[in-house]
Amino acid sequence: MRCSPSEGKMQHFPKHLLHCFVDDNRCECNEHDGVLFRAELFSISPTEEQLCWERCCRSEMEIPDVQSRVARWLSWLNA
């Protein structure tokens, strides 16, 4: 469920429509924006793609926190 008080909206995303992708560019960072690690959780509905959550790491120190968050999402999605 996603709540946005500023928009006054609540959205529900069924688990089977959620996807999690992780891009690990630490070995060869050739991204033009300097992103070493990127994680995305988004839903795909029949009408459109809605990105719900994205984290980009440009520092090695940020990666463990994002990995931990991704692990929690994957644990929930696979339950």
Q: Which residue has the tokens 């999402």?
A: 73
The 3-state DSSP class for residue 61 equals helix
Q: What contacts 19, CB < 8 A, 6 or more positions away?
A: 41, 42, 43, 44
Q: Kindly tell me if the per-residue pLDDT of 61 is higher than 70.
A: yes
* pLDDT band with cut points at 50, 70 and 90 for residue 63: very high
Decide which of 14 and 21 is more confident.
21
Q: Is the pTM of this model over 0.75?
A: no
Task: Report how far apart, in Å, the C-alpha atoms of 4 and of each of 8, 12, 27, 46 are.
Answer: 6, 12, 36, 22
Beta bridge partners of 8: none
